[in-house]
A and B are shown apart, each in its own frame.
Chain A
Amino acid sequence: MIYRRFFNVPTWRFRSPVEELHRLRQQMEQMLESAAAPHQREVAGVLPLINLTEGKDHYYVRAELPGVKGDELDIQVTANNLAISGERKIAAEDEGARYHRREREAGTFSRMIGLPDEVDTDKVEAKLENGILTVVISKAEITKPKQITVK
């Protein structure tokens, strides 16, 4: 009992002037950083990069996936999340080929996207057209606004 009370006593720490200066400097750095890149878009840093838009009844998720086939993609949806994963393959070329440039990359990707609101998991359509994936997700009925007439 005594033990517990002893430890619950808030500790008084005296800030040394050096510590205070350090804290101030950190705050200044943070401010400067945010001022230097004011319009930087928030990118999760995970492929594929997506654009999420909202229509009246649907959410639209789009991603650029050039060279990816539909059967190489795995898309799963839950009430609030959309998971996209897959692999981008680049076929091997002739043995004798000499590469001048190699900028395209192959590899796996996997991403989970939180949807803004609940969706109807039975009404999800995905299509891959010209290297752009579009997933159309219907909003759940309960989240749609209902028109109420006044009597």
Chain B
Amino acid sequence: MADTQSNELKVREKQEVTSPAEQTKPGLIFTPAVDIFETEKEITLLADMPGVKADDLTIDIRDNTLTLSADIAPVDGTDEVDILVEYESGRYYRQFTLGELINQENIDAKLNDGVLRLSLPKVEKATPKKITVKTD
């Protein structure tokens, strides 16, 4: 029993961020929770982004800065009235500085069930490049 209790998930409020630049669109911005781990060959980043479709996600690497940003489509139907609101939804935004140089040709991004998995293989010199997101 003690084991299952310790394994129970705790409620964590979604982290809202003050935007990095002046906002032109209204709405809230949240920081996705991430796991980042590194092996000999690559750095892998996992990010929780519920409600994001592959088309709405932008991953950008520039000058050793990785930027994740995503828009989400509103889910509520137009004729619905709120009864209970416990979480808000909004855009996601988070930036990371990459310590290692990344081989930008072979970056792999997958989005499944609202979780982004980004594989960044280590190699040499970085040049700006956009990455397309795949789903499977």
A contacts, CB < 8 Å to B: 41-47, 49-56, 59-60, 62, 64-69, 88, 90, 93-94, 96-109, 116, 128, 130-132, 134
The answer to whether B85 and A51 touch across the interface, beta carbons within 8 angstroms, is yes
In the bound complex, how far is the Cα of B76 from the Cα of A51, in angstroms? Answer: 10
A-B contact pairs, 25 of them (CB 8 A): A43-B11, A50-B87, A51-B84, A51-B87, A52-B84, A55-B81, A59-B83, A62-B75, A66-B113, A68-B113, A94-B39, A96-B39, A98-B38, A100-B36, A100-B38, A103-B33, A103-B34, A106-B9, A107-B9, A108-B4, A130-B51, A131-B50, A131-B52, A131-B113, A132-B51
Which residues from A are CB-within-8-Å of B12? Answer: 105
Asked if residues A103 and B35 are in contact (CB atoms below 8 Å), the reply is yes
CA–CA, A104 to B39, complex, Å?
A: 19
Stretch of B40-48, B58-66, B101-109, B123-131 on the interface side: B40-48
**Mostly helix, strand, loop or mixed at chain B's interface?**
loop
* Residue B7 is within 8 A (CB to CB) of chain A in the complex: yes
Q: Quick one: which of A44, A68, A104, A106 has the most chain B CB within 10 A?
A: A104
Interface residues of B, CB < 8 Å — how many?
A: 42
**Distance in angstroms between the alpha carbons of A132 and B89 in the assembled complex:** 11
Q: How far apart are B118's CB and chain A's nearest CB, in angstroms?
A: 13
Let me know if A131 and B77 touch, CB within 8 A.
Answer: no
Residue of A nearest to B99 (CB): A100
B37 adjacent to A98 (CB under 8 Å):
yes
Determine the residue in chain B with the shortest Cβ distance to A97.
Answer: B37
Q: Which residues of chain B come closer than 8 Å to A98, judged between CB atoms? A: 37-39
